[in-house]
Amino acid sequence: MSTPILQITDLHAKVVDGPTILNGISLTINAGETHAIMGPNGSGKSTLSKILSGHPNFEVISGEVLFLGQNLLELEADERARAGVFLAFQYPVEIPGVNNADFLRLAYNAKEKAQGREELDAVAFKDVLKAKLPIVEMAEEYLDRAVNEGFSGGEKKRNEILQMAVLEPRLAVLDETDSGLDIDALRIVAGGVNQLMNPQNAMIVVTHYQRLLDYIVPDVVHVLAHGRILKTGDKSLALDLESRGYDWLLEEAGLTA
């Protein structure tokens, strides 16, 4: 068996100077797999995504996270990204004054350089970028605007997936990428994500709703509550949650909602 893409063992974590959010998470994700993480509000879903990406507002208390066998927790956020971890933000950040194409090229070159490859100049990179645009059905004009500035909710999420397409991560974490999307935008975003999946990479899809999982079909579904994984199953678990809610799971685990 080859090295898993991601292996989390008994992870406990808290907000810096704040409460504990994760109370012992363990999971293993192999190449080619898509894992969905579902759960009620406040269960720790987004915290897990942020911890994987190295967000400075959270701090690991104990446990281990291996990415391709390497200790992920000792890397800074930018090092993780260059190593191949990608977080699609729930709320992509607007950066006035920073050109979208320049930003994408900087990110791309940072990774290329880290992996010992040649950096691309603006002209050569434009070609790379143009080839990626159809994946998220994005018009070229968005490249000349400031990063996410004045973008609609759907455009921001498409821009996230465009970044994913450019960076070709080994592990992509989609943090509630479906929030704020209408049905057409959801179809485009999910379609883009599906095109980017291959047997070498893996994905975590954090979501509230079954709806996204109609488009991005998971191999494994985890239900998170109170910072722990309550149940792990296949895609039918998501359908169960859709019809029955979370309460029955919480009761089964001796917890209250």
Query: Using CB under 8 A as the criterion, which residues of the chain lie in contact with another protein when the complex forms?
Result: 53-56, 76-78, 80-82, 87, 89, 92-93, 95-98, 103, 106-107, 110-111, 114, 146, 163, 167
For another protein, the closer of residues 96 and 116 by Cβ is 96
Query: Which residue is listed with tokens 């991005």?
Result: 216
Residue 84: CB minimum distance to another protein, A: 10
Residue 257: CB minimum distance to another protein, A: 31
Count how many Cα atoms sit within 13 Å of the Cα of residue 224 in the half-sphere of its side chain.
Answer: 27
Residue 81: CB minimum distance to another protein, A: 4
β strands within 6-135, DSSP E: 6-15, 20-29, 34-38, 58-67, 70-71, 85-88, 95-99
Residue 1: CB minimum distance to another protein, A: 29
Contact present, 202 and 33 (Cβ < 8 Å): yes
For another protein, the closer of residues 170 and 211 by Cβ is 170
Contact present, 9 and 75 (Cβ < 8 Å): no
Distance (Å, rounded) from C-alpha 144 to C-alpha 101? 6
For another protein, the closer of residues 155 and 241 by Cβ is 155
Residue 245: CB minimum distance to another protein, A: 33
Query: Who contacts 200 (Cβ-Cβ below 8 Å, separation ≥6)?
Result: 31, 32, 170
For another protein, the closer of residues 79 and 251 by Cβ is 79
For another protein, the closer of residues 7 and 163 by Cβ is 163
Question: What token pair was written down for 65?
Answer: 């996270």
Closest listed residue to residue 205, CA positions, set 241, 172, 231? 172
Apex CA 54: angle with CA 51 and CA 59, to 5°?
60
Q: DSSP 3-state assignment of 191?
A: helix
Residue 53: CB minimum distance to another protein, A: 5
Report the C-alpha dihedral over residues 140, 145, 147, 150, rounded to 10 degrees: -110
For another protein, the closer of residues 146 and 197 by Cβ is 146
Closest listed residue to residue 176, CA positions, set 92, 90, 238, 53? 90
For another protein, the closer of residues 89 and 246 by Cβ is 89
Residue 241: CB minimum distance to another protein, A: 29
